[in-house]
């Protein structure tokens, strides 16, 4: 009986071991297959972009030649306008035609460039927020997200501006707070607008990395009433803050950023009229 029991245990252990090995091999094969697909997609994308660059170079060469002819023709018109008015008219007509050719070539160049940009770098939006959160978590940020109210569709420009503000705010939290910093994000949707809030505990996170003692932690994060007053009146500057403020103002938003003494940093962007077509003036053009 003991022999059969031992044999059964050994058989079960071998079965589990074989299952684990099979799952690992399957996962490895899946990863290799996914990596191969990514490699092929990247190679195809690179080949497509190289083809676009070749077309762009050819069109640019043609546009440069057309512009050179425009300059030469303009010089000819300038010298012949007085002595040969009819010749100047003919030259001006040729200039107009060369100008249309150059303009057409440049428009083709811009069209191909924009197509390449849309393929190579899709415009991010709020649908990309979860991907952004995952990247930030992998980098060491502890991300929490809360959303309230009824979400409504945004214009592409407004959605991109909000995404960039969110991206910059989280990047600042990671940069200044370091690994382990907790960033709490909230989206509050109103009838016509949106409030974005990003609060981090970067000051506390920095203190936690130095000590785990509660008393020393409290001492390192202690603050006074003067610290609160200074935080209310401080003027935060920097390229990132300026860009976030400008993005918010483009769509009628109010941007605020500042230190929360003893805790970390806070960023808010309030957009009262995002549902309207032109949030700056708050006029509902759909009426």
Tell me: do 109 and 152 sit in the same domain: no
Domain end, chosen from 120, 155, 177, is at 120
92 and 150 fall within a common domain: no
**Count of alpha carbons within 13 angstroms of residue 109, beta-carbon side:** 16
Q: How many helices (H) and strands (E) does the chain have?
A: 8, 5
283 within domain boundaries: no
What's the CATH number where 211 sits? 3.30.565.10
Query: Domains in the chain: how many in total?
Result: 2
Full domain range(s) for residue 250:
126-271
In a domain, 82, yes or no: yes
- Asked, for residue 281, whether it belongs to a domain, the answer is no
pLDDT in tens, 197-218: 999 998 888 888 888 878 887 8
pLDDT digits (tens, 9 = 90+) for 24-49: 766 665 555 555 555 555 665 666 66
Say yes or no: 38 and 157 in one domain.
no
Domain contains 282: no
* Half-sphere exposure for 192 (CA within 13 Å, toward CB): 14
132 shares a domain with 266: yes
**pLDDT < 50 stretches in the chain:** 1-3, 278-283, 285-287
Residues 87 and 134 in one domain: no
Q: Which two tokens stand for residue 246?
A: 């400008």
């Amino acid at each position: 009986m003991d022999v059969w029991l031992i044999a059964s245990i050994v058989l079960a252990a071998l079965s589990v071991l074989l299952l684990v090995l099979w799952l690992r091999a399957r996962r490895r094969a899946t990863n290799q297959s996914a990596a191969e697909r990514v490699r092929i997609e990247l190679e195809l994308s690179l080949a497509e972009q190289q083809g676009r660059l070749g077309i762009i170079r050819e069109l640019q060469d043609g546009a440069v030649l057309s512009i050179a002819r425009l300059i030469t023709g303009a010089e000819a018109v300038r010298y012949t306008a007085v002595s040969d008015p009819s010749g100047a008219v003919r030259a001006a007509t040729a200039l107009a035609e060369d100008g249309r050719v150059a303009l057409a070539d440049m428009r083709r160049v811009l069209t191909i460039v924009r197509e390449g940009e849309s393929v190579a770098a899709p415009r991010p939006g709020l649908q990309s927020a979860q991907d952004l959160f995952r990247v930030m978590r992998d980098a060491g940020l502890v991300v929490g997200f809360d959303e309230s109210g009824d979400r409504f569709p945004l214009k592409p420009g407004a959605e991109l501006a909000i995404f960039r503000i969110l991206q910059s705010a989280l990047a600042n939290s990671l940069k200044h707070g370091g690994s382990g910093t907790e960033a709490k994000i909230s989206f509050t949707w109103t009838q016509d607008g949106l409030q974005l809030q990003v609060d981090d505990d970067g000051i506390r996170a920095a203190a936690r990395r130095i000590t785990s003692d509660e008393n020393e932690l409290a001492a390192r994060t202690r603050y006074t009433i003067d610290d609160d007053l200074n935080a209310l009146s401080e003027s935060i500057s920097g390229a990132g803050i300026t860009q976030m403020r400008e993005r918010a103002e483009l769509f009628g938003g109010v941007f605020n950023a500042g230190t929360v003494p003893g805790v970390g940093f806070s960023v808010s962007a309030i957009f009262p009229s995002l549902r309207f077509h032109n949030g700056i003036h708050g006029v509902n053009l759909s009426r």
